Amino acid sequence: MLPHWLALWWDIFGSGSELFLCAVRYEDDVIGIAPLLLQSETASFIGDIDVCDYQDFIVAPERSREFFKVLLDDLNQKGIKQLDLKAVRADSTTMLELLDVAEQRGCEISRNKLDVSLELDLPATWDDYLLMLNGKQRHEVRRKLRRSQDAGNVTYRVIDNVDDLKSEMDIFIKLFKSNRKDKVIFMTEKMASFFRLLTKSMAAENMLKLYFLDVNATPVAAAICFTHNSRAYLYNSGFDARFSTLSVGLLCKVFSIRDSIQNGNEKYDFLKGAETYKYRLGGQEVPLYECRVKL
């Protein structure tokens, strides 16, 4: 929900929608912001579930109910008939406050489980993390790390600044598209432009971690992570299928977890999707919902 993220999404994908940014103030203080777009008589979050894993309003916790009352009044006055809010966490202000306020006003509401996100609490050390895994998974992680070392000169590296980012993103996009048809379809020229500009923007804010695993100086796996408020977010990844027997895709993510621990992060967020590896690496489910409010 950061401004530069939403502004970038709007610049690339916002055509055909009307921007609706609503800030609510109490005296001189902003108590909440609704980053919405309008299509016909329906308001939705800026962004979409293809590239924004979960979304919410930006609200001062102690003023959330007041914020939503004013927001709903304003939407009514502007002739908006429905809120359609996709991919909101169970602990979001949307779920905890908005739906209750809307229901008390007599609005028709619905909430349906859409997907899951997975996350884990990071311990202080890598050894402590391994102890968090069950015996089988701990053994598998250690075995894969040992086996990779037998394959040649295996190195991990991280890109966290704007320098050389263009060439490194060329490598990432190539790895991303290398072994799944759905990823090739997803990574259109417009989407590739979004990824490039997003990583550049996040690097400028000191929030980018672009991880690579190299075998004999050849990049074979990559993962984009973002860091914010002691939390690491695994945004997307790719690997060279020719090296799949070495589990290079998984090992690159393991490296990102280890690096996140070493950098003092408190949580590692695998983001949306119930892929098996997320559970094996210790992820715990957070339900994501689609919420509709008829005003």
Looking at the chain, the domain(s) classified CATH 3.40.630.30 span 123-265
Checking if the pLDDT of 149 tops 90, the result is no
What is the pLDDT confidence band of residue 180, given thresholds at 50, 70 and 90? confident
Report the DSSP beta bridge partners of residue 116.
287
User: Which long-range CB contacts under 8 A does 198-204 form with residues at least 24 apart?
Assistant: 198/5, 198/8, 199/165, 199/169, 199/224, 200/162, 200/165, 201/4, 201/5, 201/8, 202/5, 202/226, 203/159, 203/160, 203/161, 203/162, 203/165, 204/162
pLDDT value for 170: 96
Average pLDDT, the chain: 95
pLDDT value for 223: 98
Check whether domain 123-265 has CATH 3.40.630.30, yes or no:
yes
Neighbours of 188 (CB within 10 A): 10
Average pLDDT for 223-251? 96
What is the pLDDT confidence band of residue 204, given thresholds at 50, 70 and 90? very high
pLDDT value for 193: 96
232-258 residues labelled b (16+ CB within 10 A) or e (exposed): bbbbbbbbbeebeebbbbbbbbbbbbb
Checking if the pLDDT of 30 tops 80, the result is yes
Does pTM top 0.85 for this prediction? Answer: yes
What is the pLDDT confidence band of residue 146, given thresholds at 50, 70 and 90? confident
CATH architecture of 3-115+287-294: 3-Layer(aba) Sandwich (3.40)
Could you read off the pLDDT of 258-289 as tens digits, one per residue?
Answer: 999 999 999 999 999 999 999 999 999 999 99
What is the pLDDT confidence band of residue 165, given thresholds at 50, 70 and 90? very high
Checking if the pLDDT of 117 tops 80, the result is yes
